[in-house]
Chain A
């Protein structure tokens, strides 16, 4: 019943074909900030608020946004490392954690995650072969067989096991450690890998090596990626579609082509033009935004970007914008902005509406 309703909502895909591998519906996670006398709840961080998106088989979905906008929380909720307050995660047509859906173990066999901090995501007391073999062992493989699997996956990520299997994480460089983490994720032969800032802590020359590895693995094993990063250039390079988050909400989602060359949300536009210029003859002359992102505790009412938005009007403070697509963009691009919702009453929405033939 779920699968039938979603196909038409998938941006970036011509409606018919495949069913999405992962569907995330109205996901919400609020953190209570405790403090004061007897640890009463003082405030609520709306880390993830009604986030909805789909990931198609074989694609890479990039998620970008500034620090604290809820990227990692989204990933951790999808992995059920923290329980969502509301919303659904549907993997391959089956709701996760429902009686008629799939259980967590089944989910973990198919979805794996690579964490940002390559150091703390490896147990310092285990040789890396055992870290990699742990997953298969959990799923019932015998130790010997699991270690063999580990050796072959380590080989696939470019670490020959004769040299590396018995090392400990502190005996590896940052790039090598991240390869081990990728191997660990691969060891369960998942269909989907969530990469949370997987290359952010690496040097540029090492980052390029790891990106190449991800590129090759994806092709070889038919993987699907969710690639979380704050580096817009990297996301552009690796993704097919991109989701832009702002303070726990989806601001814009669409194909990389569309979003990078024709951004519709004022935040996306600002984000893209904030990227440092790579051309010394044409440096940035004016900062696209002033001020810092607001505090996710008690975020602005209505549209969360309105406090930094040059086009904000009364309507923006009143109602939160819906994620809508405009006909001229097809369904390849959806924006949560009143200016793009003809029925919103924003003056610019009217203007563009009128200008259209």
Chain B
């Protein structure tokens, strides 16, 4: 019964292995290492950064005054008289309007989600950590809001408050609070039931300390992934509100509003008419893809 063994071995450098172990590779470091190898997600993040930069430096990027119209040059195609992307229904430069429109579109896409993250995350952590009475109060409240589809909720709130930028942001914030409370509550109560939280409790730590040291850093990953996926929804919802005339008011440039104004041009110059829609699509798609990429890198299972 004597057997010959085969002796293929892998060589690792023990000194290198030891050095890496000593440093300790924390969670965020490993997330970064995984992200670094993911070209798809990196390029999506690159596109988002480009759009953000363009919006931030809109006056420098834009080639024309976005408000300056022209009776003669209405709804012209690409490259007409120095207008890279043509002109809109009042002859304003479309490229410049899209660049400036990115400002409002991103603000209405990102800000409500950020506000909702702070408020919803706080409520979710409270509900998830303390359970019992605070939990039932918060979660029942959330359930009431959940009864309405988000688009209806947003329409109803802006309908009540009236249109305008602030009201749009407010309406969307309220719309996004329930899902963020839900996810934070779920993740928090999952983390809370792990033994290390019990261990922290049995060192006599107060709830706030435990939340700061042990809960937040464990719930951040999943909640962030979910939050980025909400941004794309928020961009679309905000555009939808403007499109319906409930959001940003003319003559401000905003992609949803532009889409609405160009609607009548669909038979004259369909390519031009669709441009704001294409921007909405690309941007929200990028946020969505980024969310998927982060989910993988952060190893989040929802």
Contact = CB atoms under 8 A, between A and B. Distances in A.
A and B in direct contact, judged by CB atoms within 8 A? yes
Interface of A: 76, 79, 81, 104-105, 107-109, 112-113, 115-117, 120-127, 131, 134-135, 138-139, 162-163, 166-168, 171, 181, 184, 188
Interface string B190-223: 0000111011111111100100011001100000
B204 A139 contact: yes
Contact of A134 (B25, B27, B213): B213
- Interface of B: prevailing SS: helix
B202 A163 contact: no
14 contacts: A76-B198, A81-B198, A81-B201, A112-B203, A113-B198, A115-B199, A120-B195, A121-B195, A126-B217, A131-B196, A134-B213, A138-B204, A163-B22, A171-B25
B204 A104 contact: yes
A117 B195 CA distance: 8
B26 interface: yes
Contact of A168 (B26, B205, B206, B209): B26
Contacts of B302: none
Contacts of A126: 213-214, 217
A115 B199 CA distance: 8
A276 B206 CA distance: 46
B23 interface: yes
A187 B203 CA distance: 10
B205 A138 contact: yes
Contacts of B26: 125, 127, 168
A112 B202 contact: yes
B21 A163 contact: yes
10 A-B pairs with least C-beta separation: A166-B24, A121-B195, A108-B204, A135-B203, A105-B204, A125-B217, A138-B205, A115-B195, A167-B24, A123-B196
Nearest to B220: A125
Interface string B19-34: 0011111110000000
B204 A115 contact: no
Nearest to B215: A123
Nearest to A117: B195
Given A123-B196, A123-B214, A171-B25, 12 more contacts: A76-B198, A104-B204, A112-B203, A113-B202, A115-B198, A122-B196, A123-B218, A125-B26, A125-B218, A127-B24, A127-B26, A138-B203
A99 B194 CA distance: 31
A121 B195 CA distance: 4
Interface of B: 18, 21-27, 194-196, 198-206, 209, 213-214, 217-218
Nearest to B206: A138
Nearest to A81: B198
Nearest to A121: B195
A120 B194 contact: yes
A166 B199 contact: no
A295 B22 CA distance: 48
* Residue among B21, B202, B204, B217 with max Cβ neighbours from chain A (10 Å): B202
B27 A124 contact: yes
A81 B204 contact: no
Contact of B218 (A81, A108, A124): A124
A134 B200 contact: yes
A165 B50 CA distance: 41
Nearest to A123: B196
Contacts of B27: 124-125, 168
A153 B209 CA distance: 22
